[in-house]
Amino acid sequence: MPSPPSTFKPYMRGVYLAYVIVSYCYFGVAFCGYWAYGNQVQPNILFSLENPRGVVSLAAIMVLIHVTGSYQVYSMPIYDMIETLLVRHGYSNGLLVRILYRSVYTSLTAFIAITLPFFIDIMGFIGALAFGPTTFALPAIIWLILKEPRKGSWHWCASYVCIVYGVVTTLFGSIGGLRSIIVSATNYKFYA
């Protein structure tokens, strides 16, 4: 039997195209926002905009759709853990039960986000703690363990540069996030 054609090249082309499109969108918003508002831009750029109202409203709806989908993807491990515990304790995992515990979990996380007036600052701090290790350091460490490149080779050096960059990014980002929480702490008002 002939072997199936390789899917690696088309897959990687799709990955690269996705990265280019996402980078274009994020960097476009970042550069235009800074160009228009300087360092006075709000953490949520939509709060800095006023006109045209229809475009701002449409953008807010698109953000809501994006966040709703992202929330479901990131919540799947929690849902899986709850389902495993329910099945392990002998409860059925029917549609009504899934709707109930997912609604309770979503309501609880929404309550926490609404209650904490410094939620954006906390997200920045937690994001900094997670971004550097998972984006730069951890993949490089795993690659070094699996591939065992020759010491001093280009791959070995590049991997260690990524690891150091990830650690430095994590440290500075975490310090910046913590500073943001401390500086803003005097202005926090619950349910404001």
Task: For the chain of 192 residues, list the mean pLDDT of each consecutive stretch of 10.
Answer: 66 87 84 79 71 81 84 85 88 86 89 79 84 83 89 90 89 89 78 64
User: Is there a cis peptide before residue 117, judged by omega within 30 degrees of 0?
Assistant: no
4 torsion bin: left (phi>0), alpha (psi -120 to 50), beta (else)? beta
Token pair, residue 109, equals 């996380």
Give tens-digit pLDDT for 127-166.
888 877 888 788 889 989 988 889 989 988 998 998 898 8
Q: How far apart are the first and last CA of the chain?
A: 68
pLDDT given for residue 112 in this prediction: 82
Say which residue the tokens 């409860």 belong to: 91
pLDDT given for residue 175 in this prediction: 92
pTM (predicted TM-score)? 0.55
Residues ≥6 apart with Cβ < 8 Å to 101: 79, 82, 86
pLDDT given for residue 192 in this prediction: 61
